[in-house]
Amino acid sequence: MRAKSILTLCDGPTCIYKNSRAIRDALETELKNQGLSDEVGIHISGCLGMCSKGPILIVNPGYTIYGGVTVQDIPEIVQEHLVRRRPVARLAVQEDHLYNRFFRIFGDVDFFGRQMRIALRNCGIIDPEKIDDYLSVRGYEALAKVLTAMSPREVIDEVKKSGLRGRGGAGFPTGLKWEFTARETGNEKYVICNADEGDPGAFMDRSAIEGDPHTVLEGIIIGGYAIGAAKGIVYIRAEYPLAIQRLEKAIAAARENGLLGKRILGSDFSFDMEIRLGAGAFVCGEETALIHSIEGRRGMPTPRPPYPSVKGLFGKPTLINNVETWANIPVIMLDGGEWFSTVGTETSKGTKVFALAGKVHNTGLIEVPMGTTLREIIYDIGGGIPNGKKFKAVQTGGPSGGCLPEEYLDTQIDYESLAAAGSIMGSGGMIVIDEDSCMVNLAKFFLEFTQDESCGKCTPCRGGTKRMLEILTRITEGNGKEGDIEKLERLGQMIKKASLCGLGQSAPNPVLSTLKNFRHEYEEHIFQKKCRAGICSALVTYEITEKCIGCGACRRVCPVNAISGKRQERHAINQETCIKCGQCFTTCKFDAIVKA
């Protein structure tokens, strides 16, 4: 018998953590007990992006999205929704469908209403481990069209027409890059998918691969056809085991179905694919370093030119694009470059995926048309700042990017506007920061990262970031000196100019952008020895207020016996002995200890 209902459970990392796998087991058991196993199919999907509402369960037909589902809710959902056909309003993320903004499935939920999904169009909807699921949503149709009806030249023209630019950070026009690589002669060429995803607060590429690996594969195969390559390589972080496993499965399934290998779909085009693992080095996201890493060497960048399009992997012409860039390709081939170029702004076409995180209600993965404002993303899609706190900044571009304060909230997302505002588009990390974060400390956090990840080849990057970090550390420890701000600026400019690769050239950005927009916080640290967010521990003092009931918990936990007081009387901290470890603060159950 054909299934009457389909249940789709998100199998992304957040939903797994929130018990989605136990829910799947409970569903299976409950369906069996109710004798419904044949009528109701259970699917899994990759991340739908609604991580903060997880675990997510979608019931079709009807497109009901359930959020925050627990094992205890399962009998009710089965009984009410599947047997009596009455959706459980209590658990539904949205209750009714007023109108359909775009995909029917997303209904009228603000979180989705402002999104537009091209790269992530199937994520959260199809089962990423079943090629049939992908085929049922026009999967590999673009490849078939390309192989039967388009010449490589036409493919490249279509990409050029779309205006697509690289989603890995730099925003180079994709069609041009393809053209440069296609122009090279010789019959050994390579196509690479950059899935190294180095930004330490982002997971777009991972989710795209986990949720819909075939889209990425299809894009890569089309790229191979366009430039005349016979081999593709996906370079992916070893830290992404689930994504690797799904990619492996997808490649095997594509081979079995004649979509990879010799004479694909009966054409003259042969192409195969291989996965290579990274090994935890941020600099390997840079294209020349990545190529050296695939060659089995240390991943150190080398000067360009020569560009990979001329002399890349094993010295051969190589086309390298980011995961999200590749995921857009099948859509451009099916719906046309012209259609694609109607989405977005003058200079930035299409959509961009962001990993929205930090101090915002709806954390998760979103895809918006270029031109959407930061305000729309943070307040309409993200639902604003939780706990009644005040917005302070939004960080984009990770360790290469910058922090924008409130005045820039109406900035439109596109490569040029973000750069003009003092940040960058980056690969898609977007972290919302509220008043509880210290901007000096945040800048230090990013610089620690880049300093740690500098490959050490150029002195300005290796030594300069170290000097900057020393100054920042001194400022956060209350030893900042007059002139430190100017020194940071000078060093920053020098490192930007004198470094070989993008890592060094962008490493000072988080410091320079916070110096520009949050200079007063630096000055407070240096001159008033004050950290307004209470983050820099050396600048914080702990005090016990009248809320203290004298339970003595703090006294017992203090490692240096700095707290004294009689039972049931207000305790006090000896500031001379206190080492500011903060243990009393976390221990007190009555919120009687405050940071000042």
Partner 1 sequence: MSEITQEKMDQIKAYIDRVKQQPYPTSYLIAVLHYVQGLFGYVPREVMDFVAQEMNLPTAHIWGVATFYHYFNLKPIGKHVISVCMGTACYVKGAHDVLEAIKRELQIQVGQTSEDRLFTLQEARCLGACGIAPVIMIDGKIHGELTAKSVVELIHRYRKAARGKTA
Ligand X SMILES: Cc1cc2nc3c(=O)[nH]c(=O)nc-3n(C[C@H](O)[C@H](O)[C@H](O)COP(=O)(O)O)c2cc1C
- For position 503 contacting ligand X by CB under 6 A, the verdict is yes
Burial readout 325-364 (b: 16 or more C-beta within 10 A, e: otherwise): bbbbbbbbbeeebeebbebbbeebbbbbbbbbbbbbbbbb
Contact pick of 227, 461, 512, 526 for ligand SF4 (by CB under 6 A):
461
Which one of ligand SF4, partner 1, ligand X, none interacts with residue 206, CB within 5 to 8 A by kind?
partner 1
Contact pick of 458, 472, 488, 539 for ligand SF4 (by CB under 6 A):
458
Which tokens in the block code for residue 71?
């094992």
Site string for ligand X, 407-446 (x = CB under 6 A): --------------------x-------------------
Query: ∠178-182-188 over CA atoms, to 5°?
Result: 120
User: Tokens 């369960």 identify what position?
Assistant: 57
Instruction: Return d(Cα 380, Cα 106) in angstroms, integer.
Output: 15
- Applying CB under 6 A, the span of 123-131, 153-161, 411-419, 452-460 interacting with ligand SF4 comes to 452-460
Instruction: Map the footprint of ligand X across residues 162-221, applying CB under 6 A.
Output: 166-170, 172, 194, 196-198
Instruction: Return d(Cα 289, Cα 430) in angstroms, integer.
Output: 25
The least CB distance from residue 557 to ligand SF4, in Å, is 6
- For position 320 contacting ligand X by CB under 6 A, the verdict is yes
Burial of 594 (0-12, 13-18, 19+ CB in 10 A): middle
3-state secondary structure 310-350: CCCHHHCCEEEEEHHHHHHHHHHHHHCHHHHCCCECCCCEC
- For position 542 contacting ligand SF4 by CB under 6 A, the verdict is yes
Kindly write down the DSSP assignment for every residue of 205-234, as one continuous string.
Answer: HHHHHHH-HHHHHHHHHHHHHHHT-SEEEE
Which one of ligand X, partner 1, ligand SF4, none interacts with residue 573, CB within 5 to 8 A by kind?
ligand SF4
- For position 578 contacting ligand X by CB under 6 A, the verdict is no
- For position 544 contacting ligand SF4 by CB under 6 A, the verdict is no
Which one of partner 1, ligand X, ligand SF4, none interacts with residue 584, CB within 5 to 8 A by kind?
ligand SF4
Helix (H, G, I), strand (E, B) or coil at 271: strand
The number of helix segments (H) and strand segments (E) in the chain equals 25, 17
Q: Which of 144, 146, 174, 181 minimizes the C-alpha distance to 160?
A: 174
Contact pick of 64, 194, 499, 517 for ligand SF4 (by CB under 6 A):
499
Q: Residues near 396 by Cβ (< 8 Å), separated by ≥ 6? A: 402, 404, 418, 423, 424, 425, 426, 429, 430, 431
**Count of residues in contact with ligand X, rule CB under 6 A:** 22
The least CB distance from residue 168 to ligand X, in Å, is 3
The least CB distance from residue 276 to ligand X, in Å, is 14
Q: Which of 319, 322, 233 minimizes the C-alpha distance to 271?
A: 233
Under 8 Å between Cβ of 196 and 235 = yes
Query: ∠552-556-561 over CA atoms, to 5°?
Result: 110
- For position 254 contacting ligand SF4 by CB under 6 A, the verdict is no
Instruction: Return d(Cα 39, Cα 432) in angstroms, integer.
Output: 44
The DSSP bridge pattern shows strands 40-45 and 5-10 to be parallel
| C-beta of 27 vs 503, nearer to ligand X | 503
| C-beta of 207 vs 321, nearer to ligand X | 321
The least CB distance from residue 131 to ligand SF4, in Å, is 39
Residues forming contacts to partner 1 in the complex (CB under 8 A) are 12-14, 16-18, 51-52, 54, 198-203, 206-207, 238-241, 276-282, 293-299, 314, 355, 357-359, 363-364, 395, 398, 429, 431, 433, 437, 442, 445-446, 449, 455, 582, 586
User: Tokens 């929130």 identify what position?
Assistant: 18
Residue number, nearest CB to ligand SF4: 504
Contact pick of 360, 421, 469, 501 for ligand X (by CB under 6 A):
501
The least CB distance from residue 326 to ligand X, in Å, is 8
The least CB distance from residue 133 to ligand X, in Å, is 26
Which one of partner 1, ligand SF4, ligand X, none interacts with residue 355, CB within 5 to 8 A by kind?
partner 1
- Applying CB under 6 A, the span of 36-44, 253-261, 402-410, 451-459 interacting with ligand SF4 comes to 451-459
- For position 321 contacting ligand X by CB under 6 A, the verdict is yes
- For position 476 contacting ligand X by CB under 6 A, the verdict is no
- For position 525 contacting ligand SF4 by CB under 6 A, the verdict is no
Query: ∠558-560-562 over CA atoms, to 5°?
Result: 75
- Applying CB under 6 A, the span of 156-164, 333-341, 482-490, 553-561 interacting with ligand SF4 comes to 553-561
| C-beta of 431 vs 593, nearer to partner 1 | 431
Q: What is the dihedral of CA 177, 197, 381, 94, to 10 degrees?
A: 110
| Amino acid at site 167 | R
The least CB distance from residue 347 to ligand X, in Å, is 15
- For position 318 contacting ligand X by CB under 6 A, the verdict is no
Instruction: Write 459-464 long-range contacts (CB < 8 A, 24+).
Output: 460/494, 460/495, 460/497, 460/498, 460/499, 460/504, 461/495, 461/499, 461/500, 461/501, 461/503, 461/504, 461/507, 464/491, 464/494, 464/495, 464/498, 464/504
Which one of ligand SF4, ligand X, partner 1, none interacts with residue 252, CB within 5 to 8 A by kind?
none
Kindly calculate the radius of gyration of the chain based on its CA atoms and give it in whole angstroms.
27
| C-beta of 48 vs 320, nearer to ligand X | 320
User: Tokens 């290579």 identify what position?
Assistant: 276
Q: What is the sign of the dihedral through the CA atoms of 185, 190, 191 and 193?
A: negative
- Chain residues in the site for ligand X (CB under 6 A): 166-170, 172, 194, 196-198, 283, 285-287, 320-322, 325, 427, 501-503
- Chain residues in the site for ligand SF4 (CB under 6 A): 283, 301, 454-458, 461-462, 499-501, 503-504, 542, 557-558, 560, 562-563, 573, 578-584
